[in-house]
Structure 1
Amino acid sequence: MTPRFSVSDFLAVVNQSLEVAFSAVEIEGEVASFKVNQNKWVFFDLKDENGSVGCFMSVYGLRTPIADGMKLIVRALPKVTAWGKFSVTVQSYYPSGEGSLHKGFELLRAKLDKEGLFTPERKRVLPAIPAHIGVISSTQAAGYTDFITILNERWGGMRVDVAHVQVQGEAAADQIIAAIRYFNESEHPPEVLAILRGGGSADDLGAFNDELLVRAIASSRIPTLVGVGHEIDTTLADLAADVRAATPSNAAQIIMPDKREYIAAAHHQVSRIIAQFDSNIDVTRQETRRLLARSLEAAERRIDMSLNQTEQQCRMLAAYDPRAVLARGYAIVRGVACVGSEITIQQSKQTITAEVTHVAANE
């Protein structure tokens, strides 16, 4: 007996059959008729030479730009809509082929650059010697091992907190975003955040061109450093970070200075200080000697002047010495000049006592 369904029941049975047959499928094709409705829903077709299938997704799932002509691989659930139209609901997608990867990269780069996410003015300077570093990477990757090894060789003793995440594949971008959020919301956040991954193909590095991840890096309140891929690789995460490192090893060199260079610089600085100190001592010594010589010269001049003055005073005193007058034949008379009084007469070699017998005024 042929089963009979209502339209709604038939669509439900078909969709249930599709779910059983295809829990999810991957479809590769070229994008056509791409459009976004009400800034909520995304519609486009995937086509090849012989067919076309409609695709549907929410705008939140639009993690990298899609444009007509790009080749995509979509992971999707097949479904018949309530209007009887067959389509697939896209769960995730990624560009297929270098041309499509590059086109998606350039479209998103232009969009974010226009918003100012890559401008040099918003870049922050990393701390000179951070005591607390946050790392987002796969701890199983060689790039992470190189980073930790070089970090400890250059300085050591700092606190390093690590968030282990996938660094490629569908889950990578969301895991890195969650790690960035975790560090930013920590009670004691690190001083710098390093996001690391070693080299790989353009497909391997695709997670670092995810729009939501790039925005998370740009909005981090912790200064960020991204060291992804090889030196020639550039991702949008690199452009959004405060500082870009060529490799994970280079990231360690940027974050932490070499203690040997600091020690050498300190020795050089001490040597310069000692040399300057010695020079200052020599200058002070020479200036002290000059001032001492000037003081001695001034003292000698004042002594000579004092000696000359003393000699002049001595000569003056000698000239007025009564003994010199007596030596020239003069005498000193002492007593009252009246008749009958006694007087003494002092000469150079003798003293005479006499009685006054006559006093007369000089004419």
Structure 2
Amino acid sequence: MTEHTPAHSSPAQPQQAADTSAENPWPLARLSDNLKRYIERVSPTWVEGQLIEHRISRGHAWMTMRDLDVEMSLPVVAWARTARTLDSSITEGSRVVALVKPNFYTKTGRLTMVVNDMRPVGIGELLARVERLRRALAEEGLFAPERKKPLPVLPNRIGLITGRDSDAMHDVQRNVLLRWPGATFEVVHAAMQGPQVGTEVAAALHRLDENPAVDVIVVARGGGALEEVILPFSDEGLVRTAADLTTPLVSAIGHEADRPVLDDVADFRASTPTDAAKNIVPDAAVELGAIADTRVRMAQAVQRLVDVQGQQIAQLRSRPVMAQPSTMITTRSDEIHQMLSRVRATFAHQLDRGSDQIGQLKARVRSLSPQQTLNRGYAVVQRHNTILRSVNDVGVGDELDILVAAGRLSATTTAVTDTTQEQPRD
């Protein structure tokens, strides 16, 4: 008889992952099943990117998509049934939109992004997006003329953003130095094609804008396909970075017909890198020629001035007064003598008149003087130094002082007669 060991029931498994523990874990299959059910609930999603890998194996399309703006990629697969329906133009390097849905294979624990549909993004659609962005930014005022900063007449240092050892870099530097040999550069290399253009060029712009020695910034790239020239340099983040710069910006992207949005926000748009060089520095030969012409014109102007002044001096010297300067002195001397004669005559006449007037005044004064009266026989009688005017002021026996024309007399009053009464007083 076989002895049966009673079976021991295992504890109930946790319902939630957070409730598991080392003593009471989940079976691996349960985790895988849960992950599969969770992932299968994710809806199919349209995503956009660039194919950096594309290979066919046993009818399946194994691809890797990379984000257009940041360094991020994702492997995807289109199973044979879907792969056969894909556009033949979809190859490595294509820009595509794909409808993907995650799939979790429980046996190996592998997560696969399965492509249910994939379409190439045509250049027409890309350009339409660029135009929509251009209109939106224009409405914000980012392209307004009043935002444009003037280029410096002669930049101290030129900031140049371009690809490493690119033709555009050589074109800008060569033509700038041909025009102005003393120019200096601050070169920052950045991606000029591919998904990294926006971020790398924006970072380079920040770096140069923060350098106080840089007076102007040039972004230069040669020509190429539309998707290589217009699209990368129409990145919204790059355009907004350019709009915030304090340093004047020159956009020299592609050729004349190429017009990325960066051209619109830049302070100056150059049709080519060579054209940029012609506009950021003056031509030394032209400037030297202008200086030479200016010197010639100045010399001619000075000579004309000397000639005019010489003619004026000659005219002055030809005048009689300059030919015989003594004439002016003689003429003035005669005038002075005539004036002196007139003054002397006038003064003598005035003296004579004055003398006559004085004589008349003297005669009048003399005729009115007391001495003249005395000379006519009159006398002045004083008593005690007081002139007598009435007999009533003197008595008999008073001492009197009598002033006559030629001397004085002393007398004693012996009698006083009042003529008004005709009676003598004793």
TM-score (norm 2): 0.53
Q: Which one has more relative contact order, counting CA pairs under 8 Å at least 6 apart?
A: 1
What is aligned with 1:265?
290
What is aligned with 2:257?
232
Aligned pair partner of 2:126 in 97, 101, 109: 101
CA distance in 1, matches of 2:335, 2:145: 84
**Which letter maps to 1:200?**
G
Task: Kindly state the Cα deviation for residue 201 of structure 1 after the two structures are TM-superposed.
Answer: 1.1
**Which letter maps to 1:143?**
A
Task: Kindly state the Cα deviation for residue 74 of structure 1 after the two structures are TM-superposed.
Answer: 4.2
- Give the root-mean-square deviation of aligned CA atoms: 3.7
CA distance in 1, matches of 2:296, 2:98: 67
The reply on whether 1:116 has 2:130 as its aligned counterpart is: no
Corresponding residue SS for 1:124: coil
Task: Kindly state the Cα deviation for residue 209 of structure 1 after the two structures are TM-superposed.
Answer: 0.6
Are the equivalent residues in 2 in contact too, given 1:26–1:74 (CA < 8 A)? no
**Count of aligned pairs:** 256
CA distance in 2, matches of 1:76, 1:162: 42
**Which letter maps to 1:261?**
V
Aligned pair partner of 1:185 in 210, 223, 230: 210
Are the equivalent residues in 1 in contact too, given 2:39–2:102 (CA < 8 A)? no
Task: Kindly state the Cα deviation for residue 26 of structure 1 after the two structures are TM-superposed.
Answer: 3.8
TM-score (norm 1): 0.62
CA distance in 1, matches of 2:288, 2:136: 46
Aligned pair partner of 1:126 in 151, 162, 171: 151
The reply on whether 1:202 has 2:220 as its aligned counterpart is: no
Report the CA distance shift for 1:233/1:249 in structure 2 as closer, same or farther (over 3 A).
Answer: same
What is aligned with 2:328?
302
Task: Kindly state the Cα deviation for residue 23 of structure 1 after the two structures are TM-superposed.
Answer: 9.8
Corresponding residue SS for 1:273: helix
Unmatched segments (≥5 aa) in structure 1: 16-20, 28-49, 52-70, 313-363
Q: Which has the larger radius of gyration?
A: 2
CA distance in 2, matches of 1:145, 1:224: 19
Task: Kindly state the Cα deviation for residue 131 of structure 1 after the two structures are TM-superposed.
Answer: 1.7
Which runs of structure 2 are paired with 1:218-229 in the superposition (5 Å)? Answer: 218-229=243-254
CA distance in 1, matches of 2:101, 2:169: 40
Which runs of structure 2 are paired with 1:67-82 in the superposition (5 Å)? Answer: 73-74=96-97, 79=102
Report the CA distance shift for 1:122/1:80 in structure 2 as closer, same or farther (over 3 A).
Answer: farther
Unmatched segments (≥5 aa) in structure 2: 1-27, 42-59, 67-80, 83-93, 105-110, 339-426
Are the equivalent residues in 1 in contact too, given 2:176–2:278 (CA < 8 A)? yes
What is aligned with 2:36?
10
Query: Sequence identity, in percent?
Result: 29
The reply on whether 1:141 has 2:166 as its aligned counterpart is: yes
Corresponding residue SS for 1:277: helix
Which runs of structure 2 are paired with 1:1-363 in the superposition (5 Å)? Answer: 3-5=29-31, 8-11=34-37, 25-26=64-65, 73-74=96-97, 79=102, 96-186=121-211, 188-205=212-229, 206-294=231-319, 295-296=321-322, 299=325, 301-302=327-328, 305=331
CA distance in 1, matches of 2:177, 2:101: 52
Task: Kindly state the Cα deviation for residue 103 of structure 1 after the two structures are TM-superposed.
Answer: 0.7
Corresponding residue SS for 1:156: coil
**Which letter maps to 1:112?**
L
Report the CA distance shift for 1:13/1:260 in structure 2 as closer, same or farther (over 3 A).
Answer: same
CA distance in 1, matches of 2:318, 2:184: 62
Are the equivalent residues in 1 in contact too, given 2:159–2:208 (CA < 8 A)? yes
**Which letter maps to 2:221?**
R
Report the CA distance shift for 1:299/1:231 in structure 2 as closer, same or farther (over 3 A).
Answer: same
**Which letter maps to 2:130?**
F
Task: Kindly state the Cα deviation for residue 88 of structure 1 after the two structures are TM-superposed.
Answer: 7.0
Report the CA distance shift for 1:215/1:303 in structure 2 as closer, same or farther (over 3 A).
Answer: same
Task: Show CA shifts across 1:38-69 (max 9, x none).
Answer: xxxxxxxxxxxx99xxxxxxxxxxxxxxxxxx
Report the CA distance shift for 1:309/1:248 in structure 2 as closer, same or farther (over 3 A).
Answer: closer
Task: Show CA shifts across 1:188-215 (max 9, x none).
Answer: 3400000000001111111101001111
**Which letter maps to 1:279?**
R
Task: Kindly state the Cα deviation for residue 97 of structure 1 after the two structures are TM-superposed.
Answer: 1.9
Corresponding residue SS for 1:163: strand
Are the equivalent residues in 2 in contact too, given 1:95–1:101 (CA < 8 A)? no
